Amino acid sequence: MIGIFGDSYAYEHDTSIAHGWPTHLSKIYNEEFENHSLYGSSLAYSHKQFKKQDVKKYSKIVFVCTEPGRQMLVDDEDNYQLHFSGTAERSINLNKQDQYQKFKQKDRNTNVKILYEMENVLATYPNTWDFVKDLLIDHVNNSHSNVLILSIRDLFLLTQLDIHHGWKPYPPRNNCVESLELGRECHISQKQNIELAGYIKRYFEDGFDIHSTFKNVEKYYTKAKTFEEAGFRNI
């Protein structure tokens, strides 16, 4: 069984509509997988899910390291959780969504104040949580003999491959959105998901340097020629 952890770059919304690289990887290996990812989540959230598992049951682990500035704010005594995902406005909208409603939260005024304060901290001291990232990634690497760590910063370079011709799929000034129906999942196109899964397999089987593919994405991944091929639809 394959274990997968991370944020939206590993999260699959609906596999009956579109397959992300986790499902393609599972099919290539003919091996079941467990996906513990959640869109918009923090490194602390991913690591918490990792610690919940008996990782020995996995033949291999893919751990997507999100931006360390994203934080899971926790009050264990009263069972509160609030997620900060880069900016206050994005975080306010995120915490309203169904996947996050399962977490108990404090009153809205308190949450909004905290999230704007978090945004100010990140803007003023952007490297505050880098040491946390290093510690958690070291723990993941040392907990299993067959681990691949992927960085959201590298994966975003792949996402950018299809952001051209004036296509703007992300807020605040987006003129299109990602479409599951057109095969876009994990923020990359259908073809790119298949290609990424293949490179991950090569990494595990023969030590292929998958990180080199993000240094030259146009060489290793297919750049969409059309709006639909990229998996975007107009809004």
Question: What's the N-to-C CA distance of the chain in angstroms?
Answer: 39
Question: From its phi and psi, is residue 52 left (phi > 0), alpha (psi between -120 and 50) or beta?
Answer: alpha
Lookup result for tokens 């723990």: 139
Q: Which amino acid does the sequence have at 165? A: H
pLDDT(50) > 80 = yes
Average pLDDT of the residues in 26-34: 97
pLDDT given for residue 188 in this prediction: 97
Average pLDDT of the residues in 105-111: 95
What is the distance between the alpha carbons of residues 70 and 84, in angstroms, rounded to a whole number?
5
Average pLDDT of the residues in 64-70: 96
Write the burial class of residue 143 (CB in 10 Å: 0-12 exposed, 13-18 middle, 19+ buried): middle
pLDDT(81) > 80 = yes
Average pLDDT of the residues in 72-77: 94
Confidence of residue 115 (pLDDT cuts 50, 70, 90): very high
pLDDT given for residue 235 in this prediction: 87
Residue in 130, 148, 132, 139 with CA at minimum distance from that of residue 50: 139
Strand locations in the chain, DSSP E? 2-5, 33-35, 60-65, 71-75, 80-84, 147-151, 176-178, 232-234
**Average pLDDT in the chain:** 95
| pTM as predicted | 0.94
Confidence of residue 63 (pLDDT cuts 50, 70, 90): very high
pLDDT given for residue 173 in this prediction: 83
pLDDT given for residue 190 in this prediction: 96
Question: pLDDT, tens digit, for every residue of 161-185?
Answer: 998 878 888 877 888 899 999 999 9
pLDDT(214) > 80 = yes
Confidence of residue 54 (pLDDT cuts 50, 70, 90): very high
pLDDT given for residue 171 in this prediction: 79
Token pair for 90: 């994005």
Token pair for 195: 């290609």
Confidence of residue 160 (pLDDT cuts 50, 70, 90): very high
Confidence of residue 193 (pLDDT cuts 50, 70, 90): very high
- Ranges of each domain in the chain: 2-68+129-234, 74-124
2-68+129-234 belongs to which CATH class? alpha beta
**Do the beta carbons of residue 130 and residue 68 sit within 8 Å?**
yes
Q: How many CB atoms lie within 10 A of CB 163?
A: 16
